[in-house]
Structure 1
Amino acid sequence: MLIREAAADDWPRIWPFWRRIVSAGETYSWDPDTSMEAGRALWMNPAKRVYVVEDESGTVVASAYVTPNYGGPAARTANAGFMVDPDQGGRGYGRALAEHILTAATADGYRGMVFNAVVETNPAVRLWTSLGFTIVGTVPDAFDHPRHGWVGLHVMHRAL
């Protein structure tokens, strides 16, 4: 696999799985009907460093971004978003991308990373805790999950 910074022309390769994940309404709090252009503005925002994972055939199978979570004197705390093509799950792409992002964020001078709204039923919670993230709080009944009903949103943190 190859992990690299995304280029603008990667968006059409990210969009199919981005749309599938967001429209499922199970892990992101973005509108499930987000258009391609609105999705590009959310994911490929110039304030974010965006990465992609390519498999051995050159297919983009995952993407992530890193951005400051706060501004001003708190700008050294990062935030990140991750998506792995659901058809490519279980192949180590998510873990490899997460480890890459943590290394890149550290190299960029971030002192910590926070996830503001991890749906408590998201299987990625296990990945984040295995990588040293802790749940610092949970907002109860904050996310209307299409299968589980109202579930909590975790705030997770890890020092870098």
Structure 2
Amino acid sequence: MDIREYRESDWNQVWTIIEKVFRAGETYAFSPEISELEARNVWIEMPKKTYVAIADDDEILGTYYIKPNQPDLGSHVCNCGYIVSESARGKGVASRLCKHSQQVAVELGFRAMQYNLVVSTNEGAIRLWIKLGFEVVGILPNAYKSKSAGYVDALVMYKELKT
């Protein structure tokens, strides 16, 4: 597996991966009815950079974006979003993407990484982020409306980066 910066020719595969997750309504706050154009804007256009994990056969296994978490005086803290294809889950792709994003964050001058809305029912992601050094710095009661579970808590997770 290789991780490289997103290319325009990657969009169809990236959209296939992120569309399923957005439509499921379980881990991202975007509307399950999000249009392809809106999804492209939030995943490709708005972030500072977007990356893809690719297999030897050029299949995209996962993707992430990186962007400042806040403007101006909060822009030294970045935010990332990660999605792994269904077929690649449980194979270390998310771990590799997260480690890669932390290296990129340092290269881009970010001093910390913050996840603003980690859905409490996303237990696998929470375990992974903690394993990779993130701390839960806040719990937002009933802040996420899961399609299947209704209102559930969301976590704010944070990690200072070695600069």
Q: TM-score range by the shorter chain?
A: over 0.9
Residue matched to 1:93: 93
Residue matched to 2:40: 40
Name structure 2 gaps, 5 residues minimum: none
Q: Distance in 2 between matches of 1:74 and 1:36?
A: 30
* Secondary structure at the counterpart of residue 58 of structure 2: coil
Q: Distance in 1 between matches of 2:78 and 2:159?
A: 10
* Secondary structure at the counterpart of residue 136 of structure 1: strand
* Secondary structure at the counterpart of residue 44 of structure 1: helix
Q: Which amino acid aligns with 1:50?
A: T
Residue matched to 2:118: 118
Q: Show CA shifts across 1:2-49 (max 9, x none).
A: 100001221111001100001000000000011111110110015421
Residue matched to 2:16: 16
Q: Percent identical across equivalent pairs?
A: 34
Contact kept in structure 1, 2:112 and 2:158, CA below 8 Å: yes
Q: Distance in 1 between matches of 2:65 and 2:90?
A: 20
TM value normalised by structure 1:
0.96
Residue matched to 1:28: 28
TM value normalised by structure 2:
0.94
Residue matched to 2:135: 134
Q: 1:44-123 counterparts in 2 under 5 A?
A: 44-122=44-122, 123=124
Q: Does 1:156 align with 2:157?
A: yes
Name structure 1 gaps, 5 residues minimum: none
Contact kept in structure 1, 2:47 and 2:65, CA below 8 Å: no
* Secondary structure at the counterpart of residue 142 of structure 2: strand
Q: Show CA shifts across 1:104-136 (max 9, x none).
A: 101211100001111011120111000110111
Q: How far has the Cα of 1:146 moved from its partner?
A: 2.3
Cα gap change, 1:60 to 1:156, in 2 (>3 Å):
same
Contact kept in structure 1, 2:25 and 2:147, CA below 8 Å: yes
Contact kept in structure 1, 2:4 and 2:51, CA below 8 Å: yes
Q: How far has the Cα of 1:148 moved from its partner?
A: 2.1
